[in-house]
Structure 1
Amino acid sequence: MNLLTFPEIKKIYSNEEAVSASTKYFKGDTLAATVFINKYALKDSEGNIYESTPDEMHKRIASEIARVEAKYTNPMTESEIFDLIKNFTYIIPQGSPMTGIGNPYQIASLSNCFVIGNKGESDSYGGIMKIDQEQVQLMKRRGGVGHDLSHIRPKGSGVKNSALTSTGLVPFMERYSNSTREVAQDGRRGALMLSVSINHPDSEGFIDAKLEQGKITGANVSVRIDDDFMRSVRDKKSYTQKYPIFSSKPAFSKDIQAHDLWKKIVHNAWKSAEPGILFWDTIINESLPDCYADLGYKTVSTNPCGEIPLCPYDSCRLLAINLFSYVENPFTKEASFNFELFKKHVQIAQRMMDDIIDLELEKIDTILMKIDQDPEEEEVKHIERNLWLEIRKKAGEGRRTGVGITAEGDMLAALGIRYGSEEGNAFAVNIHKTLALAAYRSSVDMAKERGAFAIFDAKREENNPFMQRLKEADPALYNDMLEYGRRNIALLTIAPTGSTSLLSQTTSGIEPVFMPVYKRRRKVNPNDKDVRIDFIDEVGDSWEEYVVFHHKFKQWMEVNGIDSSKNFSNEEIDELITQSPYNKATSNDVDWLSKVEMQGAIQKWVDHSISVTINIPNDATEELVDKLYMKAWEVGCKGVTVYRDGSRAGVLLANDKKEEKKEEISESKETSFPIKRPQILDCDIVRFQNNKEKWIAFIGKIDDQPYEIFTGLADDEDGILIPRWVNEGFIIKNRDEKNHSRYDFQYINQRGYKTTIEGLSHRFNPEFWNYAKLISGTLRHGMAIDNVVELINSLQLDNESINTWKNGVARALKRFVPDGTEAKGQKCSNCQSTNLMYQEGCLTCKDCGSSKCG
């Protein structure tokens, strides 16, 4: 009997119906609507959509949580749960729980993040390949993964194989990165964190690895830094690196100048926003799970965003509480925070998180059933099966949860408190202390009803600094914990809430508002009736200018009787911001050292960690990065990331007065590429079909932006045939025997070896190649992608085959147009509106909600 049953037939919505209904739900916010439909609405592998609004999703989630609640005493009802999660008002399951709870169409985990690692820290080739396979198996079930490389022997070490000496850890960084980029996750790419101890002799190579163009593009990297290293930096002393790390009898050791390596970390972070820093001694000393290190809970790395340090094969699910919703009379003099309602909801949120663990265990059982039913031989399946058995054991034994928050920036603004001020920092700390005590109270109460986590031992935890703070703040809670235990080994985090904040229409996580007001322009037809023309660009196109307000900023305006539909000038916008509680409280103008101090103070009440970014301007110095990192260590942060505006290509740049004119012409950014083409480019493969012909596009990229394109028929005698599972690789510029330029495609085959296909430029119809050179030229000179697509669409070509080529190239490049970009010169096929924008490569009409892909 097949244990994987099919779901009952439900109503199917067209994409247009779903986007339209969702846009109405979000009161015209098309970005929130399309994010919901694309990422979280229930759909099957055929693309059929079964939910058109978050109400349907929330009913699905409430039904499943209520089913688990019914197993325990004093269960919550489905309607009670629905009232708490509907409209993203109070409690918000994040990411994988939103997608996966009650989802019969995907066999996927509910966990947002995992960490893996070899028992005994084996660095054999077999052990390293095992990690690679486990990483891929987790990513295909939608999880983000972290693992540490400190166990791999340093470069030059002796090995007993044909190589004789080790290549070190850097080549494996690239391998793991490439594996990440191969895995599709329903429109998402896998997420990976690679870490290494600063004590490792190859840590400098690790720190530099991402600086090489096109390398390690599928992973975040962070360095585990111990207190001894930080003291050596501060005191300008030498530091001893070892392998094995921190061994009393190392096989290899060397002394370095700590300050020199520190300067390299600072420089690279200033230049590229990586590596991130993990203050490892702080993480371990504060960790309650590490009180059980000898039982398998030794923390070894973090999830991709750094907010959940984990032991091997443990996982975590995330949930956010919307802080803005507890502000009564927001943006008025009578504004206040309802602490009693907040505490009540935190306790319920912790209970719901525990219920989600039960749902995750069910999901893992389904994954195991799927593995058993797969036709592969047992020796092929055993790594995947054992992986999920390990994860099931850890999830059921420790019952780890990740309760966090979102909308901290909006909450403070609604209370009239400036983010980053002393008052703001003090209030934020009080919020997180309240949250910690309420969540732990809930976990202790659940231990009375449901039982403590399996290995709870109060004696092991009694000297833990976090536990000592709980004891001092709430002695009664601590005494009850001694008597009853608690349900969950660790409870709290502060994760980034990018998509979640779009749906809740709030600021993200612990962060301040990025920009409360900004201007956009949309192209208009000057002959249309009642059209308003605010700007005519140098090619004669007419544009209407309109203002976009952050949702809560708009609420502040409404509370203060300001008409948000007015056409504001730049000066009026500046004056509005100055009058508002968001003044001098955006991500780019908060006091950076104050923000680090706030993070350190809040960290005292978060048992896991905090994902936060310190945004600094483009002209900030390396000395400032140095100060911020050092301050973070001093105030007790567990990790820190500094992002200098413009330091990473492809990231949205802040507006600048000097560039305003350029920005007005197009909302897409022009890309700055190197003058000389690098020898090796990352490559994405896009396959498409026209008139039953199979076509393929090879898109060479720099910093994830298209740089060149090769396109043609995929499988005829004049075409090219690539295995269907190959979606990425590299384009390498070489020379043929006549010393002519040749572009080869290289990928990693299923046995882990490199396979090269020579001469992309010669394998397609020469006419395709000539047009490809034209398009590649526009890409290399930095033309915005939407303008390139418009240029391709405007080509007047008589040959039907060339028109097929043209349409395929446009389709392939649309994937790279930034979400939210206005589509110029096109009309909606449904309502004829010109108000179109790109969203994940599809054209979406902001007037009627119709969406067209391809």
Structure 2
Amino acid sequence: MATNEVSVKAPAGKKIYSQEEAVNASLEYFRGDDLAARVWVNKYALKDSFGNIFELTPDDMHKRLAKEIARIEERYPNPLKEDEIYKVLKDFKYIVPQGGPMTGIGNSYQIASLSNCFVVGNDGDSDSYGGIMKIDQEQVQLMKRRGGVGHDLSHIRPKGSPVKNSALTSTGIVPFMERYSNSTREVAQDGRRGALMLSVSVKHPDSESFIDAKLEQGKVTGANVSVKIQDDFMQAVEAGTSYQQQYPITGDPVYTKNTDPTKIWDKIVKNAWKSAEPGILFWDTILNESVPDCYADLGYRTVSTNPCGEIPLCPYDSCRLLAINLYSYVENPFTKDARFNFDLFKEHVHYAQRIMDDIIDLELEKIDAIIEKIDSDPEAEDIKFTERNLWNNIKNKAKEGRRTGIGITAEGDMLAALDLRYGSENATDFSEEIHKTVAIEAYRSSVYLAKDRGAFAIYNTEREKNNPMINRIKKADPELYEKMAKYGRRNIALLTIAPTGTTSLMTQTTSGIEPVFLPVYKRRRKVNPNDKDVRIDFVDEVGDNWEEYTVFHHHFKTWMKANGIDTNRAYSQEELDKFVQKSPYYKATSNDVDWLNKVRMQGRIQKWVDHSISVTINLPADAKQELVGQLYFEAWKSGCKGVTVYRDGSRSGVLISNDESDKKKESGSPFPTKRPERLEADVVRFQNNKEKWIAFLGLMDGKPYEIFTGLHDDEDGILLPRSVTKGYIIKSWEDEESSRYDFQYINKRGYKTTIEGLSHKFNPVYWNYAKLISGTLRHGMPIHKIVELVTSLQLDNETINSWKAGVARTLKKYIEDGTRADDAKCGECGSDDVVYQEGCLTCLTCGNSKCG
């Protein structure tokens, strides 16, 4: 489903660069960092819908951003000049707008929002079917404009509750999880799937079903899920007392249920240990600390978070993100004279907050363009109503509250450059001082902006007087608080710490608040053996040649240079290990850092972040389940607003539940040994070598069970209307020598139509291979293994080769996201950390995705 709409074509005379020109120029810009160059060209360079590239390097992008931000500055007193803005953006050195702002500011080829995060919902927590469908539509409309979306399901009445319609009782939460998840999978954003967060309160009677939905059913693959946990639940788990669930979850309940909280807690812990979900949101901490919730009765009641959890939001609010590169403020890094330049840092925090406020004005312009586009669309007014109303609501919230999202990146590199070991007590002390400085100076900047530009529309000192975040600022800087009481504040909330995956590739630093992943590691690069001066270190099972090379984390290399170590020499693994042991990165990687210390560090920093922090606690594969529970309790007591754990390998394959019936399936075939006479079937059409092909895929419990394939519209093949996508495969008869399978569907007139003899309609060669594949499916071989089997078949006939590609594509649609591709290598970076995502092979190292 294409979604990014183009307003104009490339203007006449506008310089267009080829992909090769842009990559080569960016490669020089990033000093030979191929991954950074390709990420920038593919994701952030200015393009039109035809793929024409209008920027040669990130320098062109930074000039584009500076020009637009300076245009907004001219509206206000004491405007920043374009060159001043450009200097703090240049080279990704100091201030880095993230995602939407980088691609969208000054982009006239795309009608899209600049916001990275949205939350939607219904006034009054309506759980009517109409209200639920409205959220579904709003979610899709936001995703098509590049936004990640979150919404809460706690307002939906629990399963079995009476409803006043023909259904008589409610279906509960899980079916709507599937609906929202499926909608996410349908929406494409420049070839990327949308991002969704679904949350529910642990008080809700259906929360256990919510917690199990992804693990047991394997259907909610298009969403992240988090449980909102209140303090009284944690206290009940700790004390071993009973816990009351209720609906509605606030106010006077119409339904209550006493439950054992330890049972729910164990389920959360086990599932997180097994699959890295659900995440945890400590909801009372979020609400109590939230500055916007001082205005809850005016529409700012926080209801959910964005997909990564770092921005809790009220319905129809949104946020744009920006990161400050902490490493760049370390002078004389990795030497005994290393120091952090707090004066320059404070100055740049003010720049960052001011730029963020300007970006809100740029966002309001974008929203006006979106509304104008909606108005000009040819659809009927009743069709356009929900979308137009959605964007008007978002515009009003952005204009009224002017929420910003200033964060940081390169925390790990900053600490190493100052010879502070990540996770140690002195490193955490210093990190807390950094984030306290960000908070105070960002709030100070917002007060100055309020003096010059006006406070956000509903600012009220009296409403905020008991807020813990505001009182920490008051205690740290009483003079600042007095000025805030006098002039107000320009922005309702200001701070976050988001994941900075691709951003950190371009800053060439550690990501966000995280430590270094690895200071040095090996990669493989595919090579052409006929090229000159090529070294072949490895030949894979299909005969491709690879060169193995050492990759240094950028600032580990800086440390090497600072210590007189030649970075151009080839070193043995033993020598590399010795270098790492001497460096400040030793015992400070994501897998080395003491987990409890990391949680405590997060809690201390959280006190100076008015939104939240996106951080992952990385655990080794052999970590015990009990450790996850211990970490969650420590996070709650430390004041964290949320936490996610990832145990190495926990998402490497298809997830199954732990009940007894599923345990039996693990040891043998997941399907009955006797084939039912009638199976649901999907019809899949594909094309190879200009020939039309068709596949009938029999399904059992929604999973592939058998397959029949062949030429479509061939005189000896099958003629089937294009509208037919589903039906049934009927086993008509079977004897010792042969069998017959028919395909049956309902035509447009409502009559049952049968195509007899799938086994006889297709060429016998296809039938034999269909029997082979069906046999392996029925006996429980994982789908991704069957795909690998099919693609590895050595077939000489060109048509058969075309056929096997089509079969592989058909089956890939049913591989669960996150399944590791065994022995696969990324053609872009050589990493073997490759998984299936929506049938495509996706590299978790560099993000490269390949379908086919």
What TM-score bracket applies, with the shorter chain setting the length?
Answer: 0.7 to 0.9
Is 1:332 aligned with 2:335? yes
| Aligned residue number for residue 399 of structure 2 | 396
| Aligned residue number for residue 649 of structure 1 | 652
Match of 1:484 among 487, 496, 502: 487
| Aligned residue number for residue 447 of structure 2 | 444
Match of 1:264 among 267, 273, 276: 267
Q: Please show how residues 72-111 of structure 1 align to structure 2 within 5 Å.
A: 72-111=76-115
| Aligned residue number for residue 17 of structure 2 | 13
Q: Please show how residues 316-465 of structure 1 align to structure 2 within 5 Å.
A: 316-465=319-468
| Aligned residue number for residue 35 of structure 2 | 31
| Aligned residue number for residue 660 of structure 2 | none
Work out the CA distance in 2 between the residues paired with 1:132 and 1:54. Answer: 36
For residues 621 and 819 of structure 1, do their structure 2 counterparts lie closer, same or farther at Cα, with a shift above 3 Å needed? closer
Is 1:147 aligned with 2:114? no
For residues 133 and 325 of structure 1, do their structure 2 counterparts lie closer, same or farther at Cα, with a shift above 3 Å needed? same
Match of 2:194 among 186, 190, 193: 190
SS in 1 for 2:156: coil
Tell me which amino acid in the other structure corresponds to 1:44. Answer: D
Which region of structure 1 is more displaced relative to structure 2, 640-649 or 76-85?
A: 76-85
SS in 2 for 1:440: helix
SS in 2 for 1:431: helix
Match of 2:301 among 295, 298, 302: 298
User: If the length of structure 2 is used for normalisation, what is the TM-score?
Assistant: 0.85
| Aligned residue number for residue 202 of structure 1 | 206
Deviation at 1:274, TM superposition (A): 0.7
Deviation at 1:834, TM superposition (A): 12
Q: Please show how residues 227-246 of structure 1 align to structure 2 within 5 Å.
A: 227-246=231-250
Match of 2:226 among 216, 222, 242: 222
Q: String of CA shifts for 1:418-450, please: whole Å, max 9, x gaps.
A: 000001100100000000011111100000111
Work out the CA distance in 2 between the residues paired with 1:460 and 1:697. Answer: 63
SS in 1 for 2:521: strand
Q: Answer yes or no: is the 8 Å Cα contact 2:346–2:438 preserved in 1.
A: yes
Tell me which amino acid in the other structure corresponds to 1:432. Answer: H
SS in 2 for 1:518: strand
Q: Please show how residues 838-849 of structure 1 align to structure 2 within 5 Å.
A: none
Is 1:607 aligned with 2:625? no
Match of 2:289 among 279, 286, 290: 286
Work out the CA distance in 2 between the residues paired with 1:476 and 1:757. Answer: 82
| Aligned residue number for residue 471 of structure 1 | 474
SS in 2 for 1:128: helix
Tell me which amino acid in the other structure corresponds to 2:523. Answer: R
SS in 1 for 2:226: strand
Deviation at 1:146, TM superposition (A): 0.4
Tell me which amino acid in the other structure corresponds to 1:160. Answer: K
SS in 1 for 2:434: helix
| Aligned residue number for residue 796 of structure 2 | 796
Q: Answer yes or no: is the 8 Å Cα contact 1:327–1:415 preserved in 2.
A: yes
| Aligned residue number for residue 639 of structure 1 | 642
SS in 2 for 1:117: coil
For residues 123 and 56 of structure 1, do their structure 2 counterparts lie closer, same or farther at Cα, with a shift above 3 Å needed? same
User: If the length of structure 1 is used for normalisation, what is the TM-score?
Assistant: 0.85
Work out the CA distance in 2 between the residues paired with 1:42 and 1:697. Answer: 40
For residues 811 and 58 of structure 1, do their structure 2 counterparts lie closer, same or farther at Cα, with a shift above 3 Å needed? farther
Work out the CA distance in 2 between the residues paired with 1:56 and 1:465. Answer: 43
Tell me which amino acid in the other structure corresponds to 2:577. Answer: D
Match of 1:555 among 531, 553, 558: 558
Work out the CA distance in 2 between the residues paired with 1:106 and 1:838. Answer: 31
For residues 451 and 546 of structure 1, do their structure 2 counterparts lie closer, same or farther at Cα, with a shift above 3 Å needed? same
Deviation at 1:599, TM superposition (A): 0.3
Deviation at 1:676, TM superposition (A): 3.7
SS in 1 for 2:23: helix
For residues 678 and 438 of structure 1, do their structure 2 counterparts lie closer, same or farther at Cα, with a shift above 3 Å needed? farther
Work out the CA distance in 2 between the residues paired with 1:284 and 1:152. Answer: 21
Work out the CA distance in 2 between the residues paired with 1:683 and 1:142. Answer: 34
Work out the CA distance in 2 between the residues paired with 1:687 and 1:355. Answer: 49
Deviation at 1:187, TM superposition (A): 1.8
Match of 2:216 among 206, 212, 215: 212
Is 1:129 aligned with 2:133? yes
Work out the CA distance in 1 between the residues paired with 2:28 and 2:221. Answer: 38
Q: Answer yes or no: is the 8 Å Cα contact 1:4–1:369 preserved in 2.
A: no
For residues 539 and 495 of structure 1, do their structure 2 counterparts lie closer, same or farther at Cα, with a shift above 3 Å needed? closer
Q: Answer yes or no: is the 8 Å Cα contact 2:740–2:758 preserved in 1.
A: no
Tell me which amino acid in the other structure corresponds to 1:592. Answer: W
Deviation at 1:569, TM superposition (A): 2.1
Which region of structure 1 is more displaced relative to structure 2, 513-522 or 163-172?
A: 513-522
Is 1:55 aligned with 2:59? yes
SS in 1 for 2:596: helix
- Aligned pair count reads 803
Tell me which amino acid in the other structure corresponds to 1:194. Answer: L
Deviation at 1:238, TM superposition (A): 0.9
SS in 2 for 1:61: helix
Work out the CA distance in 2 between the residues paired with 1:234 and 1:540. Answer: 57
Deviation at 1:112, TM superposition (A): 0.4
| Aligned residue number for residue 570 of structure 1 | 573
Deviation at 1:756, TM superposition (A): 14
Work out the CA distance in 1 between the residues paired with 2:22 and 2:550. Answer: 27
Work out the CA distance in 2 between the residues paired with 1:387 and 1:628. Answer: 39
SS in 2 for 1:212: helix
Work out the CA distance in 2 between the residues paired with 1:219 and 1:506. Answer: 28
Q: Answer yes or no: is the 8 Å Cα contact 1:719–1:764 preserved in 2.
A: no
Q: Answer yes or no: is the 8 Å Cα contact 1:733–1:741 preserved in 2.
A: no
Deviation at 1:556, TM superposition (A): 1.3
For residues 852 and 49 of structure 1, do their structure 2 counterparts lie closer, same or farther at Cα, with a shift above 3 Å needed? farther
Deviation at 1:246, TM superposition (A): 2.8
Q: String of CA shifts for 1:265-305, please: whole Å, max 9, x gaps.
A: 11111111111110011000000100000000000000000
For residues 395 and 678 of structure 1, do their structure 2 counterparts lie closer, same or farther at Cα, with a shift above 3 Å needed? farther
% identical aligned pairs: 67
Is 1:593 aligned with 2:596? yes
SS in 1 for 2:587: coil
Deviation at 1:49, TM superposition (A): 2.1
Which region of structure 1 is more displaced relative to structure 2, 778-787 or 147-156?
A: 778-787
Q: Answer yes or no: is the 8 Å Cα contact 2:523–2:830 preserved in 1.
A: no
Deviation at 1:70, TM superposition (A): 1.2
For residues 553 and 768 of structure 1, do their structure 2 counterparts lie closer, same or farther at Cα, with a shift above 3 Å needed? farther
| Aligned residue number for residue 180 of structure 1 | 184
Which region of structure 1 is more displaced relative to structure 2, 140-149 or 30-39?
A: 30-39
For residues 353 and 789 of structure 1, do their structure 2 counterparts lie closer, same or farther at Cα, with a shift above 3 Å needed? farther
SS in 1 for 2:486: helix
Tell me which amino acid in the other structure corresponds to 2:140. Answer: V
CA RMSD of aligned residues (A): 4.3
Deviation at 1:505, TM superposition (A): 1.2
Q: String of CA shifts for 1:795-825, please: whole Å, max 9, x gaps.
A: 432x4x445446667889999998997578x
Tell me which amino acid in the other structure corresponds to 1:56. Answer: D
Q: Answer yes or no: is the 8 Å Cα contact 2:7–2:111 preserved in 1.
A: no
Give structure 2 stretches of 5+ with no counterpart. 655-664, 673-678, 746-751
SS in 2 for 1:159: coil
Q: Please show how residues 500-579 of structure 1 align to structure 2 within 5 Å.
A: 500-522=503-525, 532=535, 534=537, 544-579=547-582
